[in-house]
Structure 1
């Protein structure tokens, strides 16, 4: 089990957040409702979705390496 207060827990949380926001960007109803604001508190969802869609190869490699780290090394 990953602890949120450790570094690897923060990395896992960040990766899941970015992947979830990128997925929600592809859903039309949620895209217009959740990701319409680009500034403020709701802008964090938009910015994470942009990171997830533009850097999808890097995010996927990081998710895979983090999964291997958690399964085999921790």
Structure 2
């Protein structure tokens, strides 16, 4: 189990957050409710969704590498 206060825990949390926001952007009701604000605290969700959709290949490769690290080295 990863610890949030370690570097690998922060990276895993960030990757999961970006992937979740990118997925929520594809759901129409959640997109209009959660990702409509582009500034402020709610803007973090929008920005993470944009990162997840524009850099989807890099995010996917990073998720695979993190999964490999957690399963075999942690």
Return the TM-score normalized by structure 1.
0.98
State the number of aligned residues: 74
Runs of at least 4 residues off by over 6 Å? none
Alpha-carbon RMSD across the aligned residues, in angstroms, is 0.4
Aligned to 2:33: 33
Q: TM (normalized to structure 2)?
A: 0.98
In structure 2, C-alpha distance between the alignment counterparts of 1:33 and 1:63, rounded to whole Å: 26
- Name the CA distance, whole Å, in 1 between partners of 2:71 and 2:33: 36
Is the counterpart of residue 10 in structure 1 residue 10 in structure 2?
Answer: yes
Partner residue, 1:55? 55
Distance (Å, rounded) in 2 between the aligned partners of 1:34 and 1:71: 32
CA distance in 2, matches of 1:24, 1:36: 12
> Which 5+ residue runs of structure 2 have no aligned equivalent?
none
Q: How does 1:54-73 map onto structure 2 within 5 Å?
A: 54-73=54-73
> Structure 1: which 5+ residue stretches go unaligned?
none
